[in-house]
Amino acid sequence: MNWYFVAAAVLVFLTGLTHTVFGERMIFRRMRAAGFIPTNGGQSLREYQVRIVWATWHMVTLMAWCFAAILAWLALPAQAGLAGSMITRSFIAAMLASSATVGIGTKGKHLGWLALLATAVLTARGACL
């Protein structure tokens, strides 16, 4: 069992869950006039823009959970030969780029960049086994 991949899978799953929960509580709750999907963008956003921002927000969470599932699968002993594969290298690159984007975009104030960086580091360490 590749425990670095397991730790990375858990971390990226929790990051996705946190992303969804806090997004709903801190952002979309204020934009919801009625119903499940928020539609009130105030004077800045039209309804269709609010809907696509909401959908994209949660799409990131779904992708994070898919990444977690792939990492959990890669952690299995039967997949040991894939540890340094294109799959893991692509994942590491995506997490590093995402970490940099969030870190630069928020001037380091949004702690998501740390979780993304930690996921990349754990995956890179697991790829070296």
Q: In which residue ranges of the chain is pLDDT below 50? A: none
Whether the CB-CB separation of 8 and 71 falls below 8 Å is answered with yes
Interatomic CA distance for residues 4 and 120, integer angstroms: 10
Radius of gyration of the chain (CA): 17
- Residues 67-103 pLDDT 10s: 999 999 999 999 988 888 999 999 999 999 999 999 9
The pLDDT assigned to 34 comes to 82
The number of distinct structural domains making up the chain is 1
End-to-end CA distance of the chain: 11
State the residue range of the domain holding 18.
3-127
Tokens of 124: 């890179």
User: How far from chain centre, in Å, is Cα 114?
Assistant: 12
Interatomic CA distance for residues 28 and 50, integer angstroms: 9
Interatomic CA distance for residues 121 and 117, integer angstroms: 6
Interatomic CA distance for residues 100 and 39, integer angstroms: 30
DSSP-derived secondary structure letter, 45: B
The pLDDT assigned to 83 comes to 86
From 125, 60, 51, 127, select the one nearest 98 (Cα to Cα).
60
> Taking the model in full, what pTM does it have?
0.90
